[in-house]
A and B are shown apart, each in its own frame.
Chain A
Amino acid sequence: MTGGVTRAEYCVVACAEAWRGDGEILAAPMGAVPRIGARLAKRTFAPGLMLTDGEAMIVYGDPEVGGPEVVEGWLPYRAHLALVTGGRRHVMMGASQLDRHGNQNISCIGDWKRPKRQLLGVRGAPVNTLNNPTSYWVPRHSRRVFVERVDMVCGVGHDRAAAAGPAATRFHDLRCVVTDLAVLDFATPDRTLRVRSLHPGVTAEAVREATGFPLDIADDVPSTREPTPAELRLIREVIDPEGAREREVPS
Protein backbone atom coordinates (compact mmCIF):
# COMPACT_ATOMS: atom_id res chain seq x y z
CA MET A 1 0.00 0.00 0.00
CA THR A 2 1.04 3.57 -0.55
CA GLY A 3 0.64 4.50 3.12
CA GLY A 4 -0.39 8.07 2.35
CA VAL A 5 2.58 8.72 0.07
CA THR A 6 1.48 11.10 -2.67
CA ARG A 7 2.26 10.75 -6.36
CA ALA A 8 4.41 13.89 -6.12
CA GLU A 9 6.47 12.24 -3.36
CA TYR A 10 7.11 9.16 -5.49
CA CYS A 11 8.24 11.53 -8.23
CA VAL A 12 10.59 13.34 -5.83
CA VAL A 13 12.19 10.05 -4.80
CA ALA A 14 12.45 8.89 -8.43
CA CYS A 15 14.15 12.16 -9.37
CA ALA A 16 16.52 11.89 -6.40
CA GLU A 17 17.50 8.40 -7.59
CA ALA A 18 18.66 9.88 -10.90
CA TRP A 19 21.67 11.39 -9.10
CA ARG A 20 22.59 8.25 -7.10
CA GLY A 21 26.25 7.41 -7.45
CA ASP A 22 27.12 10.60 -9.32
CA GLY A 23 29.70 11.73 -6.76
CA GLU A 24 31.06 15.26 -6.61
CA ILE A 25 29.27 16.91 -9.52
CA LEU A 26 26.69 19.63 -9.98
CA ALA A 27 23.08 18.46 -9.84
CA ALA A 28 21.17 20.79 -12.16
CA PRO A 29 17.43 20.29 -11.64
CA MET A 30 14.80 22.19 -13.64
CA GLY A 31 11.33 22.21 -12.10
CA ALA A 32 10.13 21.98 -8.51
CA VAL A 33 10.05 18.18 -8.15
CA PRO A 34 13.59 17.64 -9.54
CA ARG A 35 14.85 20.48 -7.32
CA ILE A 36 13.38 18.83 -4.24
CA GLY A 37 14.70 15.47 -5.47
CA ALA A 38 18.25 16.78 -5.88
CA ARG A 39 18.16 18.22 -2.36
CA LEU A 40 16.79 14.95 -0.99
CA ALA A 41 19.60 13.03 -2.73
CA LYS A 42 22.21 15.37 -1.28
CA ARG A 43 20.81 15.09 2.23
CA THR A 44 20.70 11.30 2.09
CA PHE A 45 22.61 9.02 -0.27
CA ALA A 46 24.53 11.51 -2.45
CA PRO A 47 26.21 13.98 -0.07
CA GLY A 48 28.90 14.89 -2.61
CA LEU A 49 26.43 16.62 -4.95
CA MET A 50 26.77 20.34 -5.57
CA LEU A 51 23.66 22.53 -5.80
CA THR A 52 23.07 26.10 -6.93
CA ASP A 53 20.77 28.82 -5.67
CA GLY A 54 19.26 28.93 -9.16
CA GLU A 55 21.53 31.80 -10.11
CA ALA A 56 25.26 32.22 -9.68
CA MET A 57 26.09 30.61 -6.32
CA ILE A 58 26.87 27.06 -5.26
CA VAL A 59 25.12 26.62 -1.95
CA TYR A 60 25.67 24.23 0.88
CA GLY A 61 22.65 23.64 3.03
CA ASP A 62 19.17 24.15 1.79
CA PRO A 63 17.49 27.38 0.71
CA GLU A 64 14.06 25.85 1.37
CA VAL A 65 14.87 25.72 5.08
CA GLY A 66 14.58 28.82 7.21
CA GLY A 67 18.16 28.47 8.43
CA PRO A 68 21.17 30.20 6.94
CA GLU A 69 22.24 29.27 3.45
CA VAL A 70 25.98 28.97 3.07
CA VAL A 71 27.68 29.85 -0.19
CA GLU A 72 30.50 27.45 -0.97
CA GLY A 73 31.27 28.55 -4.50
CA TRP A 74 30.65 30.93 -7.36
CA LEU A 75 29.18 29.68 -10.59
CA PRO A 76 28.25 32.45 -13.01
CA TYR A 77 26.95 31.53 -16.46
CA ARG A 78 30.31 31.20 -18.13
CA ALA A 79 31.67 28.93 -15.42
CA HIS A 80 28.44 26.93 -15.52
CA LEU A 81 28.91 26.33 -19.25
CA ALA A 82 32.47 25.19 -18.59
CA LEU A 83 31.15 22.72 -16.02
CA VAL A 84 28.67 21.43 -18.61
CA THR A 85 31.33 20.84 -21.22
CA GLY A 86 33.72 19.39 -18.65
CA GLY A 87 31.04 16.81 -17.87
CA ARG A 88 30.96 17.39 -14.10
CA ARG A 89 27.23 18.01 -14.09
CA HIS A 90 24.07 15.94 -14.40
CA VAL A 91 21.14 17.98 -15.62
CA MET A 92 17.47 17.07 -15.37
CA MET A 93 15.75 19.17 -18.02
CA GLY A 94 12.13 19.63 -18.95
CA ALA A 95 10.76 18.54 -22.31
CA SER A 96 7.85 19.99 -24.26
CA GLN A 97 8.23 17.03 -26.62
CA LEU A 98 10.30 13.85 -26.30
CA ASP A 99 10.59 10.94 -28.71
CA ARG A 100 11.53 7.28 -28.17
CA HIS A 101 15.20 7.95 -28.98
CA GLY A 102 15.42 10.71 -26.38
CA ASN A 103 15.30 13.68 -28.75
CA GLN A 104 13.87 16.60 -26.79
CA ASN A 105 12.20 19.84 -27.87
CA ILE A 106 11.78 23.03 -25.84
CA SER A 107 12.00 25.46 -28.77
CA CYS A 108 8.71 25.55 -30.65
CA ILE A 109 5.71 23.50 -31.71
CA GLY A 110 5.00 23.15 -35.41
CA ASP A 111 7.12 24.30 -38.32
CA TRP A 112 10.22 26.10 -37.05
CA LYS A 113 9.99 28.71 -39.83
CA ARG A 114 6.64 29.87 -38.51
CA PRO A 115 5.74 27.93 -35.39
CA LYS A 116 2.25 27.29 -34.16
CA ARG A 117 3.58 27.84 -30.63
CA GLN A 118 6.87 29.53 -29.95
CA LEU A 119 8.35 28.25 -26.71
CA LEU A 120 11.59 29.12 -24.94
CA GLY A 121 14.17 28.38 -27.63
CA VAL A 122 16.90 25.71 -27.68
CA ARG A 123 18.65 27.29 -24.67
CA GLY A 124 21.45 24.96 -23.53
CA ALA A 125 19.86 21.68 -24.58
CA PRO A 126 22.31 20.99 -27.45
CA VAL A 127 25.40 21.59 -25.29
CA ASN A 128 23.94 19.72 -22.31
CA THR A 129 23.10 16.55 -24.16
CA LEU A 130 26.44 16.23 -25.95
CA ASN A 131 28.57 16.94 -22.90
CA ASN A 132 27.15 15.92 -19.54
CA PRO A 133 24.75 13.27 -18.23
CA THR A 134 21.18 14.30 -19.01
CA SER A 135 17.84 13.17 -17.60
CA TYR A 136 14.36 14.54 -18.19
CA TRP A 137 11.42 15.47 -16.01
CA VAL A 138 7.90 15.41 -17.46
CA PRO A 139 5.31 16.45 -14.85
CA ARG A 140 2.39 15.41 -17.05
CA HIS A 141 2.95 12.24 -19.07
CA SER A 142 0.85 12.65 -22.22
CA ARG A 143 0.73 12.04 -25.95
CA ARG A 144 1.45 15.73 -26.48
CA VAL A 145 4.84 15.28 -24.85
CA PHE A 146 5.73 11.71 -25.88
CA VAL A 147 5.53 12.04 -29.64
CA GLU A 148 6.64 10.00 -32.63
CA ARG A 149 8.85 12.87 -33.84
CA VAL A 150 9.75 16.09 -32.08
CA ASP A 151 9.28 19.29 -34.11
CA MET A 152 12.76 20.66 -33.31
CA VAL A 153 15.62 18.58 -31.90
CA CYS A 154 17.08 20.64 -29.06
CA GLY A 155 18.32 17.88 -26.74
CA VAL A 156 19.99 15.22 -28.90
CA GLY A 157 18.68 11.64 -28.76
CA HIS A 158 20.56 8.41 -29.41
CA ASP A 159 19.73 8.12 -33.13
CA ARG A 160 20.69 11.70 -33.89
CA ALA A 161 23.91 11.54 -31.87
CA ALA A 162 24.93 8.33 -33.66
CA ALA A 163 24.24 9.89 -37.04
CA ALA A 164 26.30 12.96 -36.15
CA GLY A 165 29.42 10.88 -35.48
CA PRO A 166 31.99 10.15 -32.78
CA ALA A 167 32.35 13.75 -31.58
CA ALA A 168 28.64 13.75 -30.79
CA THR A 169 28.51 10.34 -29.10
CA ARG A 170 31.77 10.62 -27.14
CA PHE A 171 30.21 12.13 -24.02
CA HIS A 172 26.53 11.62 -24.89
CA ASP A 173 24.86 10.04 -21.85
CA LEU A 174 21.07 10.04 -21.53
CA ARG A 175 20.13 8.58 -18.17
CA CYS A 176 16.42 8.48 -17.38
CA VAL A 177 13.05 10.14 -17.83
CA VAL A 178 10.90 10.65 -14.73
CA THR A 179 7.22 11.40 -15.29
CA ASP A 180 4.16 11.61 -13.05
CA LEU A 181 3.35 8.03 -14.09
CA ALA A 182 6.62 6.17 -14.36
CA VAL A 183 10.40 6.10 -14.61
CA LEU A 184 11.70 5.35 -18.09
CA ASP A 185 15.20 4.69 -19.39
CA PHE A 186 16.99 3.64 -22.56
CA ALA A 187 18.20 0.19 -21.45
CA THR A 188 17.06 -1.56 -24.63
CA PRO A 189 19.19 -3.06 -27.43
CA ASP A 190 18.38 -0.12 -29.73
CA ARG A 191 18.53 2.37 -26.86
CA THR A 192 14.94 3.50 -27.14
CA LEU A 193 12.64 4.31 -24.24
CA ARG A 194 11.27 1.58 -22.01
CA VAL A 195 9.54 1.67 -18.66
CA ARG A 196 11.91 0.96 -15.78
CA SER A 197 9.29 1.27 -13.04
CA LEU A 198 5.67 2.29 -12.61
CA HIS A 199 4.71 4.57 -9.76
CA PRO A 200 2.45 2.70 -7.30
CA GLY A 201 -1.17 2.92 -8.41
CA VAL A 202 -0.30 3.38 -12.11
CA THR A 203 -1.09 0.62 -14.61
CA ALA A 204 0.97 -0.28 -17.66
CA GLU A 205 -2.13 0.42 -19.74
CA ALA A 206 -2.35 4.00 -18.42
CA VAL A 207 1.26 4.67 -19.44
CA ARG A 208 0.77 3.14 -22.90
CA GLU A 209 -2.37 5.21 -23.31
CA ALA A 210 -0.50 8.43 -22.44
CA THR A 211 2.40 7.74 -24.81
CA GLY A 212 2.27 8.72 -28.48
CA PHE A 213 4.31 5.74 -29.71
CA PRO A 214 4.26 1.99 -28.97
CA LEU A 215 5.97 1.40 -25.64
CA ASP A 216 7.17 -1.97 -24.34
CA ILE A 217 6.43 -2.55 -20.71
CA ALA A 218 7.58 -5.86 -19.26
CA ASP A 219 4.96 -7.97 -17.44
CA ASP A 220 7.16 -8.02 -14.38
CA VAL A 221 8.02 -4.28 -14.42
CA PRO A 222 8.75 -3.22 -10.84
CA SER A 223 7.12 -0.42 -8.88
CA THR A 224 8.98 2.81 -8.18
CA ARG A 225 10.48 2.38 -4.74
CA GLU A 226 8.79 3.61 -1.59
CA PRO A 227 10.30 6.58 0.22
CA THR A 228 11.72 5.72 3.63
CA PRO A 229 10.10 7.36 6.67
CA ALA A 230 13.23 9.52 7.03
CA GLU A 231 12.99 10.64 3.39
CA LEU A 232 9.31 11.47 3.78
CA ARG A 233 10.07 13.55 6.84
CA LEU A 234 12.84 15.41 4.98
CA ILE A 235 10.59 16.11 2.00
CA ARG A 236 7.60 17.22 4.05
CA GLU A 237 9.22 19.04 6.93
CA VAL A 238 12.61 20.23 5.76
CA ILE A 239 12.97 20.51 1.99
CA ASP A 240 9.45 21.34 0.81
CA PRO A 241 7.23 22.34 3.73
CA GLU A 242 5.33 24.69 1.40
CA GLY A 243 4.23 21.77 -0.79
CA ALA A 244 5.59 23.00 -4.13
CA ARG A 245 5.75 19.34 -5.21
CA GLU A 246 1.98 18.94 -4.89
CA ARG A 247 1.35 21.97 -7.08
CA GLU A 248 3.56 20.52 -9.82
CA VAL A 249 2.07 17.01 -9.54
CA PRO A 250 -1.42 17.28 -8.05
CA SER A 251 -2.72 14.18 -6.32
Chain B
Amino acid sequence: MTAEEAVGRIRSGMTVGIGGWGSRRKPMALVRALLRSEVTDLTVVSFGGPDVGLLTAAGKVRKLVTAFATLDSIPLEPHFRAARERGDIELTELDESMMMWGLTAAVHRLPFLPVRAGLGSDVMTVNPGLRTVTSPYEDGEELMAVPALRLDVALVHLNRADAQGNGQYLGPDPYFDDLFCEAAAEAYLCCERVVATAEFADAGGPQTLLVKRHAVTGVIETPGGAHFTSCVPDYGRDEAFQSAYAKAAADPEAWREFTRRFLSGDEERYRAAVAAFGREGI
Protein backbone atom coordinates (compact mmCIF):
# COMPACT_ATOMS: atom_id res chain seq x y z
CA MET B 1 0.00 0.00 0.00
CA THR B 2 1.03 3.64 -0.20
CA ALA B 3 1.79 6.03 2.64
CA GLU B 4 -1.35 7.97 1.66
CA GLU B 5 -3.49 4.84 1.92
CA ALA B 6 -2.06 4.04 5.35
CA VAL B 7 -2.58 7.55 6.62
CA GLY B 8 -6.07 7.48 5.10
CA ARG B 9 -6.95 4.92 7.78
CA ILE B 10 -6.14 7.36 10.55
CA ARG B 11 -8.99 9.47 11.90
CA SER B 12 -8.83 12.71 13.83
CA GLY B 13 -8.75 12.11 17.57
CA MET B 14 -6.99 8.75 17.34
CA THR B 15 -4.05 7.63 19.47
CA VAL B 16 -1.05 7.03 17.24
CA GLY B 17 2.14 5.32 18.41
CA ILE B 18 5.30 6.14 16.47
CA GLY B 19 8.29 3.79 16.56
CA GLY B 20 12.00 4.56 16.51
CA TRP B 21 13.80 6.53 19.19
CA GLY B 22 14.85 10.19 19.21
CA SER B 23 16.21 10.92 15.75
CA ARG B 24 16.66 7.23 14.90
CA ARG B 25 14.63 5.07 12.53
CA LYS B 26 11.50 7.19 12.62
CA PRO B 27 8.78 6.40 10.05
CA MET B 28 9.23 9.85 8.55
CA ALA B 29 7.57 9.08 5.19
CA LEU B 30 4.38 8.26 7.10
CA VAL B 31 4.81 11.32 9.30
CA ARG B 32 5.15 13.46 6.17
CA ALA B 33 2.02 11.84 4.73
CA LEU B 34 0.23 12.68 7.99
CA LEU B 35 1.36 16.30 7.62
CA ARG B 36 -0.29 16.42 4.20
CA SER B 37 -3.54 14.90 5.51
CA GLU B 38 -6.52 16.61 7.10
CA VAL B 39 -6.13 14.53 10.27
CA THR B 40 -5.87 16.50 13.49
CA ASP B 41 -6.43 16.26 17.26
CA LEU B 42 -4.08 13.28 17.60
CA THR B 43 -2.71 11.73 20.75
CA VAL B 44 0.87 10.78 19.89
CA VAL B 45 2.84 8.18 21.86
CA SER B 46 6.53 8.33 21.00
CA PHE B 47 10.10 8.14 22.22
CA GLY B 48 10.22 11.60 20.76
CA GLY B 49 12.26 12.92 17.88
CA PRO B 50 11.49 15.04 14.80
CA ASP B 51 8.23 13.08 14.36
CA VAL B 52 6.96 14.84 17.45
CA GLY B 53 8.46 18.14 16.29
CA LEU B 54 6.92 18.09 12.80
CA LEU B 55 3.46 16.94 13.89
CA THR B 56 3.42 19.45 16.72
CA ALA B 57 4.52 22.32 14.48
CA ALA B 58 1.76 21.41 12.02
CA GLY B 59 -0.88 21.55 14.76
CA LYS B 60 -1.74 17.85 14.44
CA VAL B 61 -1.14 16.98 18.07
CA ARG B 62 -3.58 17.56 20.90
CA LYS B 63 -1.79 15.40 23.41
CA LEU B 64 1.68 13.94 23.55
CA VAL B 65 2.71 10.94 25.65
CA THR B 66 6.48 10.86 25.98
CA ALA B 67 9.53 10.83 28.25
CA PHE B 68 11.58 13.23 26.10
CA ALA B 69 11.99 14.74 22.67
CA THR B 70 15.46 15.02 21.18
CA LEU B 71 17.33 15.12 17.87
CA ASP B 72 20.26 13.21 19.48
CA SER B 73 23.16 15.16 17.99
CA ILE B 74 21.09 18.29 18.67
CA PRO B 75 19.95 17.72 22.26
CA LEU B 76 16.63 19.59 22.26
CA GLU B 77 13.78 19.26 19.72
CA PRO B 78 13.04 22.87 18.75
CA HIS B 79 9.37 22.51 17.76
CA PHE B 80 8.50 20.45 20.83
CA ARG B 81 10.23 23.05 22.93
CA ALA B 82 8.36 25.94 21.32
CA ALA B 83 5.00 24.16 21.55
CA ARG B 84 5.50 23.53 25.26
CA GLU B 85 6.61 27.09 25.92
CA ARG B 86 3.54 28.40 24.10
CA GLY B 87 1.30 25.95 25.97
CA ASP B 88 0.08 24.49 22.66
CA ILE B 89 -0.03 20.80 23.55
CA GLU B 90 -1.19 18.62 26.39
CA LEU B 91 1.61 16.49 27.74
CA THR B 92 1.61 13.17 29.56
CA GLU B 93 5.20 13.08 30.72
CA LEU B 94 6.28 9.59 31.72
CA ASP B 95 9.60 7.97 32.50
CA GLU B 96 11.21 5.97 29.64
CA SER B 97 10.71 2.68 31.44
CA MET B 98 7.10 3.57 32.22
CA MET B 99 6.58 4.08 28.48
CA MET B 100 8.04 0.64 27.80
CA TRP B 101 5.92 -1.07 30.46
CA GLY B 102 2.80 0.81 29.39
CA LEU B 103 3.24 -0.52 25.85
CA THR B 104 4.07 -3.98 27.21
CA ALA B 105 0.91 -3.96 29.34
CA ALA B 106 -1.13 -3.15 26.23
CA VAL B 107 0.55 -5.97 24.30
CA HIS B 108 -0.32 -8.41 27.09
CA ARG B 109 -3.87 -7.07 27.44
CA LEU B 110 -3.21 -6.05 31.03
CA PRO B 111 -4.65 -2.87 32.57
CA PHE B 112 -1.28 -1.94 34.07
CA LEU B 113 2.14 -3.26 35.06
CA PRO B 114 3.90 -2.50 38.35
CA VAL B 115 7.23 -0.68 38.33
CA ARG B 116 9.33 1.30 40.77
CA ALA B 117 9.98 4.19 38.37
CA GLY B 118 7.90 7.27 38.98
CA LEU B 119 7.59 6.91 42.75
CA GLY B 120 8.82 10.04 44.49
CA SER B 121 9.23 11.97 41.24
CA ASP B 122 7.06 14.72 39.80
CA VAL B 123 5.94 12.30 37.10
CA MET B 124 3.23 11.52 39.65
CA THR B 125 2.52 15.19 40.34
CA VAL B 126 2.08 16.18 36.70
CA ASN B 127 0.01 13.06 35.97
CA PRO B 128 -2.49 13.13 38.84
CA GLY B 129 -4.36 10.21 37.29
CA LEU B 130 -1.49 7.79 37.96
CA ARG B 131 -2.19 5.20 40.64
CA THR B 132 -0.05 2.95 42.79
CA VAL B 133 -0.64 -0.71 43.58
CA THR B 134 0.30 -2.72 46.66
CA SER B 135 2.08 -6.02 46.21
CA PRO B 136 -0.14 -8.87 47.44
CA TYR B 137 2.96 -10.77 48.61
CA GLU B 138 4.87 -10.56 51.89
CA ASP B 139 6.98 -7.58 50.84
CA GLY B 140 3.82 -5.47 50.63
CA GLU B 141 5.63 -2.91 48.45
CA GLU B 142 3.61 -0.05 47.07
CA LEU B 143 4.58 0.32 43.43
CA MET B 144 3.64 2.49 40.48
CA ALA B 145 0.88 0.95 38.36
CA VAL B 146 1.78 2.04 34.82
CA PRO B 147 -1.43 2.09 32.80
CA ALA B 148 -1.51 0.25 29.48
CA LEU B 149 -0.71 2.48 26.51
CA ARG B 150 -3.20 1.13 24.00
CA LEU B 151 -2.87 2.53 20.51
CA ASP B 152 -5.37 2.89 17.69
CA VAL B 153 -2.57 2.94 15.14
CA ALA B 154 1.18 2.27 15.17
CA LEU B 155 3.62 3.57 12.58
CA VAL B 156 7.09 2.05 12.34
CA HIS B 157 9.99 1.95 9.88
CA LEU B 158 12.25 -1.07 9.39
CA ASN B 159 14.98 -2.00 6.95
CA ARG B 160 13.15 -4.84 5.18
CA ALA B 161 9.69 -6.33 5.07
CA ASP B 162 7.85 -8.89 3.01
CA ALA B 163 4.45 -8.31 1.46
CA GLN B 164 2.74 -10.24 4.28
CA GLY B 165 3.92 -7.76 6.92
CA ASN B 166 6.90 -9.56 8.41
CA GLY B 167 9.52 -6.93 9.25
CA GLN B 168 13.29 -7.22 9.58
CA TYR B 169 15.58 -4.71 11.28
CA LEU B 170 19.27 -4.75 10.41
CA GLY B 171 20.51 -2.02 12.74
CA PRO B 172 21.84 -2.47 16.28
CA ASP B 173 18.65 -1.68 18.19
CA PRO B 174 15.04 -2.85 17.79
CA TYR B 175 13.93 0.11 19.94
CA PHE B 176 10.30 -0.67 20.82
CA ASP B 177 8.88 -1.12 17.33
CA ASP B 178 7.42 -4.60 17.85
CA LEU B 179 5.75 -3.40 21.06
CA PHE B 180 4.23 -0.45 19.21
CA CYS B 181 2.82 -2.77 16.53
CA GLU B 182 1.42 -5.30 19.01
CA ALA B 183 -0.03 -2.60 21.28
CA ALA B 184 -2.04 -1.16 18.37
CA ALA B 185 -5.35 -2.10 16.78
CA GLU B 186 -3.73 -1.43 13.39
CA ALA B 187 -0.06 -1.10 12.50
CA TYR B 188 1.56 0.25 9.36
CA LEU B 189 5.07 -0.86 8.60
CA CYS B 190 7.15 1.11 6.17
CA CYS B 191 10.49 -0.22 5.05
CA GLU B 192 13.48 0.55 2.89
CA ARG B 193 12.76 -2.40 0.64
CA VAL B 194 10.04 -5.02 0.29
CA VAL B 195 11.73 -8.38 -0.29
CA ALA B 196 10.64 -11.92 -0.97
CA THR B 197 10.24 -13.77 2.33
CA ALA B 198 13.05 -16.13 1.32
CA GLU B 199 15.48 -13.17 1.15
CA PHE B 200 15.29 -12.43 4.89
CA ALA B 201 17.76 -15.20 5.71
CA ASP B 202 20.48 -13.67 3.53
CA ALA B 203 20.43 -10.36 5.38
CA GLY B 204 20.58 -11.56 8.98
CA GLY B 205 19.81 -14.24 11.52
CA PRO B 206 16.28 -15.11 12.64
CA GLN B 207 16.53 -12.67 15.55
CA THR B 208 16.46 -9.78 13.06
CA LEU B 209 12.83 -10.68 12.24
CA LEU B 210 11.38 -8.19 14.67
CA VAL B 211 7.80 -7.59 13.60
CA LYS B 212 5.44 -10.44 12.76
CA ARG B 213 2.67 -10.24 10.18
CA HIS B 214 -0.19 -10.89 12.63
CA ALA B 215 0.55 -7.47 14.14
CA VAL B 216 0.76 -5.56 10.86
CA THR B 217 -2.13 -4.19 8.81
CA GLY B 218 -0.22 -2.79 5.87
CA VAL B 219 3.29 -2.63 4.39
CA ILE B 220 4.60 0.40 2.55
CA GLU B 221 7.88 0.47 0.63
CA THR B 222 9.49 3.86 1.28
CA PRO B 223 13.17 3.92 0.30
CA GLY B 224 14.78 6.68 2.36
CA GLY B 225 11.57 6.77 4.36
CA ALA B 226 13.31 7.39 7.68
CA HIS B 227 15.17 10.43 6.32
CA PHE B 228 16.47 12.64 7.94
CA THR B 229 16.68 10.28 10.91
CA SER B 230 19.04 7.30 10.81
CA CYS B 231 18.21 3.88 9.41
CA VAL B 232 21.47 2.00 9.82
CA PRO B 233 22.97 0.11 8.09
CA ASP B 234 21.09 1.52 5.08
CA TYR B 235 22.01 5.11 5.99
CA GLY B 236 22.99 7.27 8.91
CA ARG B 237 21.33 10.44 10.09
CA ASP B 238 21.49 13.32 7.58
CA GLU B 239 23.19 15.72 9.97
CA ALA B 240 23.36 18.60 7.48
CA PHE B 241 19.66 18.36 6.80
CA GLN B 242 18.84 17.97 10.48
CA SER B 243 20.80 21.14 11.30
CA ALA B 244 18.93 22.98 8.55
CA TYR B 245 15.66 21.69 10.07
CA ALA B 246 16.61 22.85 13.57
CA LYS B 247 17.84 26.20 12.30
CA ALA B 248 14.66 26.83 10.33
CA ALA B 249 12.53 25.81 13.32
CA ALA B 250 13.94 28.69 15.33
CA ASP B 251 12.38 31.33 13.08
CA PRO B 252 8.78 31.43 11.77
CA GLU B 253 9.73 32.94 8.41
CA ALA B 254 12.53 30.41 7.87
CA TRP B 255 10.16 27.62 8.89
CA ARG B 256 7.57 28.70 6.31
CA GLU B 257 10.31 28.58 3.68
CA PHE B 258 11.48 25.15 4.90
CA THR B 259 7.89 23.87 4.76
CA ARG B 260 7.39 25.28 1.30
CA ARG B 261 10.61 23.80 0.00
CA PHE B 262 10.50 20.35 1.60
CA LEU B 263 7.07 19.53 2.97
CA SER B 264 4.52 20.98 0.59
CA GLY B 265 4.64 18.22 -2.01
CA ASP B 266 4.54 14.43 -2.00
CA GLU B 267 7.33 12.06 -1.00
CA GLU B 268 8.86 12.13 -4.46
CA ARG B 269 9.11 15.91 -4.34
CA TYR B 270 10.57 15.67 -0.86
CA ARG B 271 13.31 13.35 -2.13
CA ALA B 272 14.05 15.65 -5.05
CA ALA B 273 14.25 18.67 -2.75
CA VAL B 274 16.55 16.78 -0.36
CA ALA B 275 18.78 15.75 -3.27
CA ALA B 276 18.98 19.38 -4.41
CA PHE B 277 19.78 20.43 -0.86
CA GLY B 278 22.57 17.83 -0.77
CA ARG B 279 24.06 19.16 -4.00
CA GLU B 280 24.28 22.62 -2.46
CA GLY B 281 26.81 21.03 -0.11
CA ILE B 282 25.67 22.91 2.94
Q: Does A85 count as interface, using CB distance less than 8 angstroms?
A: yes
Across the interface, do A118 and B116 meet the contact criterion of CB distance under 8 Å?
Answer: no
Across the interface, do A108 and B96 meet the contact criterion of CB distance under 8 Å?
Answer: no
Q: Does A131 count as interface, using CB distance less than 8 angstroms?
A: yes
Count chain A CB atoms within 10 A of each CB in B95, B115, B143 and give the residue with the most: B95
Contacts of B67 in A (CB 8 A): 121-124
Across the interface, do A77 and B117 meet the contact criterion of CB distance under 8 Å?
Answer: no
Question: Digit string of B40-81 for contact with A (CB within 8 Å is 1, else 0)?
Answer: 000000001000000000000000001111100001100011
Across the interface, do B120 and A156 meet the contact criterion of CB distance under 8 Å?
Answer: yes
Contact of B120 among A78, A121, A124, A153 (CB under 8 A): A153
- Shortest C-beta distance, A59 to chain B (Å), equals 12
Please give me the residue from chain A that is nearest to B81 by CB atom: A118
Taking CB atoms and an 8 Å cut-off, the chain B residues in 67-110 that contact chain A are: 67-70, 75-76, 80-82, 84-87, 93-98, 100
**Given A123-B96, A167-B142 in contact, is the A131-B119 Cβ separation under 8 Å?**
no
Across the interface, do A76 and B119 meet the contact criterion of CB distance under 8 Å?
Answer: no
Contacts of A154 in B (CB 8 A): 121-123
Across the interface, do A107 and B100 meet the contact criterion of CB distance under 8 Å?
Answer: no
Contacts of B121 in A (CB 8 A): 122, 125-126, 129, 153-156, 160
Question: Digit string of B148-185 for contact with A (CB within 8 Å is 1, else 0)?
Answer: 00000000000000000000000011111000000000
Q: Does A244 count as interface, using CB distance less than 8 angstroms?
A: no
Contact of B84 among A57, A84, A118 (CB under 8 A): A118
Please give me the residue from chain A that is nearest to B123 by CB atom: A126
Across the interface, do B175 and A77 meet the contact criterion of CB distance under 8 Å?
Answer: yes
Q: Does A56 count as interface, using CB distance less than 8 angstroms?
A: yes
Which listed segment binds B: A109-117, A139-147, A189-197? A109-117
**Given A156-B120, A171-B116 in contact, is the A117-B176 Cβ separation under 8 Å?**
no
Contacts of B81 in A (CB 8 A): 117-118
- Shortest C-beta distance, B176 to chain A (Å), equals 7
Query: Once the chains are docked, how many angstroms separate the CA of A167 from the CA of B140?
Result: 9
**Given A56-B173, A114-B87 in contact, is the A122-B116 Cβ separation under 8 Å?**
no
Across the interface, do A164 and B119 meet the contact criterion of CB distance under 8 Å?
Answer: yes
Q: Does B17 count as interface, using CB distance less than 8 angstroms?
A: no
Contact of B119 among A116, A117, A118, A168 (CB under 8 A): A168
Across the interface, do A107 and B93 meet the contact criterion of CB distance under 8 Å?
Answer: yes
Count chain B CB atoms within 10 A of each CB in A81, A114, A131 and give the residue with the most: A81
Taking CB atoms and an 8 Å cut-off, the chain B residues in 187-237 that contact chain A are: none
Q: Does B240 count as interface, using CB distance less than 8 angstroms?
A: no
Q: Does B118 count as interface, using CB distance less than 8 angstroms?
A: yes
Q: Does B245 count as interface, using CB distance less than 8 angstroms?
A: no
Q: Does A219 count as interface, using CB distance less than 8 angstroms?
A: no
Contacts of B112 in A (CB 8 A): none
Across the interface, do B68 and A120 meet the contact criterion of CB distance under 8 Å?
Answer: yes
**How many residues does chain A have at the interface if contact means C-beta atoms less than 8 Å apart?**
46
Q: Does A249 count as interface, using CB distance less than 8 angstroms?
A: no
Query: Once the chains are docked, how many angstroms separate the CA of A115 from the CA of B76?
Result: 14
Across the interface, do B142 and A114 meet the contact criterion of CB distance under 8 Å?
Answer: no
- Shortest C-beta distance, A64 to chain B (Å), equals 18
Across the interface, do A57 and B172 meet the contact criterion of CB distance under 8 Å?
Answer: yes
Q: Does A67 count as interface, using CB distance less than 8 angstroms?
A: no
Q: Does A161 count as interface, using CB distance less than 8 angstroms?
A: yes
Contacts of B69 in A (CB 8 A): 120-121
Contacts of A77 in B (CB 8 A): 21, 100, 173, 175-176
**Given A78-B100, A112-B122, A113-B87 in contact, is the A122-B21 Cβ separation under 8 Å?**
no
Contacts of A163 in B (CB 8 A): 120
Across the interface, do A122 and B76 meet the contact criterion of CB distance under 8 Å?
Answer: no
**Given A119-B76, A126-B95 in contact, is the A156-B119 Cβ separation under 8 Å?**
yes
Contacts of A120 in B (CB 8 A): 68-70, 75-76
Q: Does B239 count as interface, using CB distance less than 8 angstroms?
A: no
Q: Does A205 count as interface, using CB distance less than 8 angstroms?
A: no
- Shortest C-beta distance, B183 to chain A (Å), equals 14
**Given A78-B176, A112-B122, A163-B120 in contact, is the A117-B85 Cβ separation under 8 Å?**
yes
Contacts of B93 in A (CB 8 A): 107, 112, 121-122
Q: Does B126 count as interface, using CB distance less than 8 angstroms?
A: yes
Contacts of A114 in B (CB 8 A): 84-87
Query: Once the chains are docked, how many angstroms separate the CA of A240 from the CA of B265?
Result: 46
Across the interface, do B120 and A81 meet the contact criterion of CB distance under 8 Å?
Answer: no
Q: Does B141 count as interface, using CB distance less than 8 angstroms?
A: yes
Please give me the residue from chain A that is nearest to B141 by CB atom: A167
Closest 10 interchain pairs by CB? A121-B68, A164-B120, A127-B117, A56-B172, A118-B84, A156-B120, A126-B95, A167-B141, A127-B97, A114-B87
